């Protein structure tokens, strides 16, 4: 399927206005999704002392994931949003265990990457549901239209019951939109949008795989990313980035 067929003009306009979109179709074929889920289960079983929501950059440990991260299925979703020159920024298995899954405070991804890139206007996260992701088990939620800044004022919160130790001040939760997804469906959001998730107090696990991409118009600052690896996923390098596969 060509990338122009993935989104309607209205969906792209809404993404630019609201900072997010839901893709309520199966992103991968059943056999692909089954393989990805198996890789996740392996990583979860081998996590050691890490919490289930701390499986960051799993593709550094298992390069089988690059087959998914660099796939046309994903990149054809991303290209209409950030353009044809795409870098793979990161990925993360985020799993909220039944009853004990921690809350994710209101935050902007860009605020945690400050200084690591020189711009944040064309970075998108694809959040793929591995389990059913519902309001009851702590699905992601966003505040629409808050992707014009990316660097809000933060305050401290308890880092034991939250995945971060800070949160954005004064968020109006009544404006939140909840991303309810079935396994294999996904959402996309701008790196600057205000988002988070409630804790999982249900008996149902909630796991997602985030796949993060940036336009190669952005420059990744090597000295601010020691030991970090990025890949050129599609197109060409514009800003002169230290891609693994350049």
The closest alpha carbon to 192, from 45, 4, 20, belongs to 20
**Does 54 have pLDDT greater than 90?**
no
The rounded percent of the chain whose pLDDT value lies above 70 is 96
**Does 246 have pLDDT greater than 90?**
no
> pLDDT tens digits for 185-201?
999 999 999 999 999 99
**Does 160 have pLDDT greater than 80?**
no
pLDDT for 48:
74
CATH architecture of 3-234: Sandwich (2.60)
**Does 130 have pLDDT greater than 60?**
yes
> pLDDT tens digits for 5-26?
799 999 999 999 999 999 999 9
Neighbours of 154 (CB within 10 A): 17
Average pLDDT over every residue of 43-51: 81
Return the residue matching tokens 């993935």. Answer: 6
Return the residue matching tokens 């309001």. Answer: 135
Quote the mean pLDDT of the chain: 94
State how far the Cα of 100 lies from the Cα of 102, in Å rounded to an integer.
Answer: 6
pLDDT for 163:
83
More confident residue, 162 or 176: 176
pLDDT band at 53; cut points 50, 70, 90: low
**Does 184 have pLDDT greater than 90?**
yes
pLDDT for 3:
47
């Amino acid at each position: 399927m060509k990338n122009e067929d993935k989104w309607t003009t209205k969906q792209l306009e809404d993404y630019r206005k609201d900072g997010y979109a839901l893709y309520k179709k199966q992103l991968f074929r059943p056999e692909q999704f089954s393989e990805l889920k198996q890789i996740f289960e392996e990583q979860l079983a081998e996590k050691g002392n890490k919490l289930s929501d701390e499986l960051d950059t799993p593709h550094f440990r298992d390069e089988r994931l690059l087959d998914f991260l660099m796939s046309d299925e994903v990149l054809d979703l991303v290209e209409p949003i950030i353009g044809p020159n795409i870098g793979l920024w990161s990925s993360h298995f985020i799993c909220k265990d039944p009853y004990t899954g921690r809350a994710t405070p209101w935050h902007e991804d860009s605020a945690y990457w400050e200084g690591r890139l020189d711009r944040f206007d064309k970075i998108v996260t694809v959040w793929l549901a591995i389990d059913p992701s519902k309001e009851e088990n702590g699905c992601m939620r966003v505040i629409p239209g808050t992707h014009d800044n990316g660097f809000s004022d933060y305050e401290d919160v308890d880092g034991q019951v939250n995945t971060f130790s800070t949160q954005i001040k004064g968020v109006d939760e009544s404006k939140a939109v909840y991303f309810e997804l079935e396994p294999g469906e996904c959402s996309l959001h701008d790196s600057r949008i205000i988002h988070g998730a409630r804790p999982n107090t249900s008996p149902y696990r909630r796991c997602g795989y985030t796949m993060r991409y940036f336009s190669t118009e952005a420059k990744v600052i090597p000295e601010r990313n020691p030991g970090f690896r990025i890949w050129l996923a599609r197109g060409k390098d514009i800003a002169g980035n230290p891609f693994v596969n350049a």
